Amino acid sequence: MEVTYIVIENLKRSLSQTDYVVTKIAEAETIEEQQALRIKYADVLNQRKQWRAQINELEEHPMENVPTPAPPSWANVKENDMNESIDDTSVMNELEGGEE
């Protein structure tokens, strides 16, 4: 649940950081100015729409929609790969003071 909360808060922060675009459009004096600003900031407006949809989805289904982070690259090492890179007998001989 805490992860969902953090994701939602980050999305809300992103919305807050782009509020100036909505304010500019709202404060435009003419419809032509508003339309020009909507075209200029179309990418930002579309991103804001996606963020709001994500927030709504996460609030409705908190844990179901949180993306699972990818495992670190070292987690993909197979046991066989590790065995091939280390020769257990030589390591044991060295630890025991013997020869290979």
Within-domain flag for 81: no
Using pLDDT thresholds of 50, 70 and 90, give the confidence band for residue 96: low
Within-domain flag for 19: yes
* C-alpha distances in Å from residue 91, one per residue of 22, 69, 73, 97: 66, 36, 26, 10
Query: Does this model's pTM top 0.85?
Result: no
Question: Other CB atoms closer than 10 Å to residue 33's CB: what's the count?
Answer: 13
Q: What distance in Å separates the CA atoms of residue 1 and residue 58, rounded to the nearest whole number?
A: 10
Within-domain flag for 98: no
Q: What is the mean pLDDT of the chain?
A: 77
Domain that holds residue 49: 2-70
Question: What's the number of domains the chain is made of?
Answer: 1
Within-domain flag for 75: no
Please state the rounded mean pLDDT for residues 18-46.
97
For residue range 1-12, list pLDDT tens digits in order: 688 889 999 999
Question: Per-residue pLDDT for 94 more than 60?
Answer: no
